[in-house]
Amino acid sequence: MACVAVNSLVRTIELEFLQPLPRPIVRQKQLIPANEKLIQNLHQKLGDLIELFDENRMDGIQAIKHLETKLRDVAFRVEDEIEFQIVHLYEIEEKEELLAGIAGLFVEIPESSIDAVEEEDLEKPQAGEESDAQRSWHSFKLGCILEEAIRDIDGIHKELSKVKMECVAAALQGIGIGRKTTTVLAAAAASTTSSDGYSSHPLQGSSIMVGKNNEFQIVKAMLIQNSSRQREIVSIKGMGGIGKTTLARRVYEDPSVASRFDIRAWVVVSQYHNKLQMLTDLLKSTGCGGSGTQEGQLAQQLYQNLMHQRYFVVIDDIWSVEAWDSVKACFPDNGNGSRVLLTTRSAEVATIIGSNNDFSHQMQLLEEGESWNLFHEKTRKYPGSEFDIIGRQIVEKCKGLPLAIVVAAGLFSKLHTLAEWKNVAEALNSSAKTTTIDEECSRILSSSYNHLPHSLKACFLYLSVFPEDVEIHAKNVVKLWVAEGLVKASDDMSFDVVARRHIEELKDRNLILESETSSCGRKVKTFRMHDLLHSFCVREAKKENLLHVVYKNESNSPQKDFRWVSIQSEWFNQQTLYSSLINCRSILVFFQKYRSPNSKICPLLRVLYNTTELEIAYLFHLRCVLSRVAALTILDPFHSWNLQSLSVDRIDEMSILEFPQLQHLKIRSIPMDFPICFHQNLKSIGLLRVDHCTKEFFTSIPYAEKVEIDCEGGWNDCMNNIAYLHQLQSLFLLGCGFRILIPNNNIVSLKSLIQLRIFSMRFKGKTINIFSKLPKLEVLRLIMCEWIGREWELLENESFDQLISLSISFSKLEHWEASACHFPNLERLVLEWCEELEKIPGGFAEIPNLKSIELKECRHSAVDSAKEIQREQHEQGNDNMVVIAKHTKEMRATKIDRCE
């Protein structure tokens, strides 16, 4: 319970007082010198105490819950007091400057009298200056806050130690403090995680919830074997967590189903449907992004795209008939066997919307053998009989619900000894024997959550800010977690790296569902949460007074103390909300129009996500701004000294400023005269102009890992200088107007480069082959790039030895000469709108690690060559190699002027 509060306070202490260059007003008021020992002492005690809670996992004992609540309240109080004091210092400074300005209007000293001013008068405090006594008062006030915090922390530590000793004594004497005490003591004796909080045995298996094979065949038959030529509505119905979405996904991706239809689309509806979002997602899923913003325009475009096509559309997680009624007119009945597949918990919804009983399937709970196989597949260890006995008891508690089984497996996969298995099983078995499936599922989710390390628990709770069923981008989550202070760095891992590991850990524990992997296939790119897990997460966050969600037409007034607000509707009372934002740290917006509040309303704000209009000059504690459509004006005075991530559409005006904590800067076009003083912390920046790319600039950001450059003004000099970025891992080159790429051997000096993206450039001869000399290059994406002569030929010594993923999009490439030796480790090949390419090199059939070839809008001959490669791969034993072809047809060349 205290995880968010303590992690946040620890990070605030580090940023305000322990970083090499604290904010100027803290230095000016001399807050640190007299309080340095208190600051370090409190920082250490907080870390020690949260580790003590983490090690002992005593969440089953009421006294421990009380202490965690007490620690949470202390940490929140102390952090508020520290941050409000800093706000107060800025307010004092602003008033003093205002008074000084007013005084200057009324007091005019004649020139003749200046010489008469005595020297001692020059030493007196002037308007706007502060005496030593005043500075001492501010320092004394901070000292009082810190001393009281240390006393409270020491008191909690003593109470915790006392409770722990009582538990140990009770266990040794065999007296009944309760069955869960045994669990606590065993966890204290052997922690459920390794020293860094991670298991050394990650979960195996790719699917979270598996549908039974006979159910797969039933639904598949409804889609492609039923003789009906009408547009039919097929429904999969069943309780939450039973595996409806996974079954629908398995059918959707089945090759025999995919080949039956001309066009496919997938949309997630969720409990609070949004017609505009549904239409936008459907158009995007069909590969035809909508060109309007009005519902009527998008609906018409969707209808036209589906007309005269045999289509297959999945509407996942639909809760109401109204949601279907809002979009049903977009699905024409072409009389060609089109199908709409919906998943729902409601039998009534399925009956009203569905065609008839011939096109409806009721999901069944897993049988005993299937349940055990799923649990065993996810744990994949401890094959001894004692583990099996315990595991089967746990599986029985899950009552055949796949979600409960995989979450339980995620929990037990992190327990290392037989004793730990016994103790956790005992806690789960301590409930009454007669419980419903929903109650058992809730208990298992709660147990899995309670066994998370505190840092991971804090990160999991923050996911409650996202709407149900939304696809979450991992790169944004990393920035948000870091900005909120939920992630703790270590000596050998940065905040971003630790946050990435937290995402992988949540995936391994089956608490999030991976939607898309990165190009290299090694990282989670996007993920979702199952709606039952999301509901649990929201419930826990609200219970801890962390979260307030703004739903459509909500009339309830929020509590005063929440820290995160998730705005999921534009129809709400802003005045009521604004009156409650005094302690708010994060504002996240999930619709188009919202203006951010000012510092008077929200003085402690750290995170602004997806707001359209920004007023941030006086948001003193701002750390993260992520907004795709916002324009910014940043002028002195600008006090967001700890700003870490800034991503906006443009900056209209900016003064010379310092951002010592800035790590990520993303602006669609950085102004030519960008007057920013960067520090060594910068990790990523874009979109730079070539004029920015000087030796002096690149040497000032030696730890930059990701750079994006607009090469419109020529790129050769830029490449000469970029070689100074010795830790660069990702490079994006935007060559507007099909600029010719000129060979530059300096690119080879980028020894750490892993990902290279090139947009809208032309290659002279074999220029592109120079990138084969990059020793660590794993991902190469070529978008709207052209080969002069329309041929790509690689010589024998020009091999991309480490390349894992190769993507070519919107290209007029016709002939491609290459063999397996040129791409020996290639796993993924993507060809999109390569309308002239005749075939894929046949030698790719000999690449041992090839997993997939994906084609979109390519020639039939190219698709045929991919299928021939697949056939040969299968003959050589690589049965997992797949070909995915979308919307393929014989095409004539068309000029492509731009890439959306």
pLDDT tens digits, one per residue of 192-247? 333 333 333 333 333 444 447 789 999 999 999 888 889 999 999 998 888 899 89
The C-alpha atoms of residue 674 and residue 655 are separated, in whole angstroms, by: 9
Grade residue 432 by pLDDT with cuts at 50, 70 and 90: low
Closest alpha carbon to 563 in 583, 577, 582? 583
Contact yes or no for 473/522 (Cβ under 8 A): no
Q: For 373, what's the count of Cα atoms within 13 Å in the CB-facing half-sphere?
A: 9
Cα-based distances in Å from 25 to 90, 100, 529: 8, 18, 42
Beta bridge partners of 333: none
Q: What proportion of the chain, given as a percentage, has pLDDT over 70?
A: 80
Closest alpha carbon to 702 in 670, 678, 737, 734? 678
pLDDT of residue 337 exceeding 60, the answer is: yes
User: Which two three-digit tokens encode residue 264?
Assistant: 């496919």
- The stretch 409-417 carries a mean pLDDT of 86
Give the 3-state secondary structure percentages of the chain, helix then strand then coil, rounded to 5: 45, 15, 40
pLDDT for the residue 423: 84
The C-alpha atoms of residue 289 and residue 889 are separated, in whole angstroms, by: 20
Q: What is the mean pLDDT of the chain?
A: 83
Q: What is the DSSP secondary-structure string of 100-148? A: HHHHHHH----HHHHTTS-GGGGGSPPTT---HHHHHHHHHHHHHHHHH
| Mean pLDDT comparison of 218-222, 612-616, 624-628, highest-scoring range | 218-222
Closest alpha carbon to 796 in 819, 768, 779, 815? 819
The secondary structure element, H or E, covering residue 152 is helix 132-173
User: Which two three-digit tokens encode residue 42?
Assistant: 């409190």
Grade residue 106 by pLDDT with cuts at 50, 70 and 90: low
pLDDT of residue 415 exceeding 90, the answer is: no
Instruction: State the first-to-last Cα distance of the chain, in angstroms, to the nearest integer.
Output: 45
Torsion of CA 380, 382, 385, 388, to 10 degrees: -50
pLDDT tens digits, one per residue of 131-148? 566 668 899 999 999 999
User: Which two three-digit tokens encode residue 870?
Assistant: 């697949």
116-125, 341-350, 800-809: range with lowest mean pLDDT: 116-125
For tokens 């701004």, name the residue: 625
pLDDT tens digits, one per residue of 848-889? 999 999 999 899 999 999 999 999 999 999 998 999 887 644
pLDDT of residue 710 exceeding 50, the answer is: yes
pLDDT tens digits, one per residue of 37-90? 999 999 999 988 888 877 665 445 677 888 889 999 999 999 999 999 999 999
pLDDT for the residue 127: 42
User: Which two three-digit tokens encode residue 574?
Assistant: 């802003």
pLDDT of residue 123 exceeding 60, the answer is: no
Respond yes or no on whether the N-terminal peptide bond of residue 637 is cis (omega within 30° of 0). Answer: yes
Classify residue 336 as exposed, middle or buried by CB count within 10 Å of its CB (0-12, 13-18, 19+).
Answer: middle
List strand residue ranges (DSSP E) for 244-392, in order.
Answer: 263-270, 311-318, 339-344, 360-362
**Which residues touch 323 (CB under 8 Å, ≥6 apart)?**
269, 273, 278
**Which residue would you say has higher pLDDT here, 672 or 726?**
726
The conformation of residue 543, written as its DSSP 8-state character, comes to H
The C-alpha atoms of residue 33 and residue 7 are separated, in whole angstroms, by: 24
Alpha-carbon torsion (863, 866, 872, 875), positive or negative: negative
pLDDT of residue 185 exceeding 90, the answer is: no
Number of helices (H) and strands (E), helices first, in the chain?
Answer: 27, 31
For tokens 């929200």, name the residue: 602
**Which residue would you say has higher pLDDT here, 576 or 434?**
576
pLDDT for the residue 749: 86
Q: What proportion of the chain, given as a percentage, has pLDDT over 90?
A: 43
pLDDT tens digits, one per residue of 305-316? 899 899 999 999
User: Which two three-digit tokens encode residue 467?
Assistant: 């709407």
User: Which two three-digit tokens encode residue 384?
Assistant: 């001894």
The two most distant CA atoms of the chain are separated, in Å, by 106
User: Which two three-digit tokens encode residue 634?
Assistant: 């940043």
**Which residues touch 213 (CB under 8 Å, ≥6 apart)?**
none
- The stretch 414-420 carries a mean pLDDT of 84
Closest alpha carbon to 284 in 311, 305, 254, 269? 305
The conformation of residue 546, written as its DSSP 8-state character, comes to -
Grade residue 107 by pLDDT with cuts at 50, 70 and 90: low
Contact yes or no for 266/311 (Cβ under 8 A): no
pTM equals 0.83
The C-alpha atoms of residue 30 and residue 33 are separated, in whole angstroms, by: 6
Q: What is the DSSP secondary-structure string of 435-474? A: --HHHHHHHHHHHHHHTS-HHHHHHHHHGGGSPTT--EEH
CB atoms < 10 A from the CB of 151, how many?
11
pLDDT for the residue 193: 36
The C-alpha atoms of residue 852 and residue 846 are separated, in whole angstroms, by: 13
